Structures are given as structure tokens and as C-alpha cells.
Amino acid sequence: MKSLKQTGRAPRRKWFSWFYVTVAIVLVYFSSVLLTQQSHLNQVARSQAVADKRLEAAQQENERLKREMAALNDSSQIERLAREELGMTKRGELPYGSVKR
């Protein structure tokens, strides 16, 4: 075996190094954390989209109910509903109903 002085080269280092193993483990760990977080963010975004659709539907229903409530303040609207849905009549009127077949 020749010594360092004879060849002029440094001895070869081992290919296996704990530094590279540690770096690889850290990279795998942070990659898994990144993927997990991205998956969670995607799920939150989907939930947000569903909640936005539900909110929009509720707002439309609210507007419809407000219009209906405003219409119920009109006496002619109240009379129409009483006649159509409840079958009510004024004094002296005879109720009329058709037979549907």
C-alpha cells in the first residue's frame, strides 16, 4: 500500500455518509408535510366552494321571502290568498268550485 506522500492524492472517502442520509430523511419529511398540507388546503377550498353555494341559495331564498312578505301587506293580495287557498268568501257570495277530472 502506498502512502499519501508517495501518490500525492488524498485517500478516498467512504461513499456512504451520514450527512447524505440525514439530508435525504429531512427532504422526505418536509415533502410529506408539504403534500399533507396541500391536500388539506384542497379540502378546505372544496368546503369553501360548497359553503359559498349554500350561502348564495340562502340569500336568494331570503330575498324571495322578503318579496312575499311585502306582498302580504297588500290587502288585495291577502284577499286573493284567502279566496284561493282557504276557500273564503265575502258576505253574500256563494262559494264556487269546479270539479277537476
Question: CA-to-CA distance for 5 and 76, rounded, in angstroms?
Answer: 114
pTM: 0.52
Q: What is the pLDDT along the chain (101 residues), one digit of tens a residue?
A: 555 555 566 666 666 688 889 999 999 999 999 999 999 999 999 999 999 999 999 999 999 999 988 888 888 888 888 777 777 777 777 766 666 76
Do residues 16 and 9 lie in contact, with contact meaning Cβ atoms separated by under 8 Å?
A: no
Q: Where are the alpha helices (DSSP H) in 1-101?
A: 4-7, 18-71, 75-86
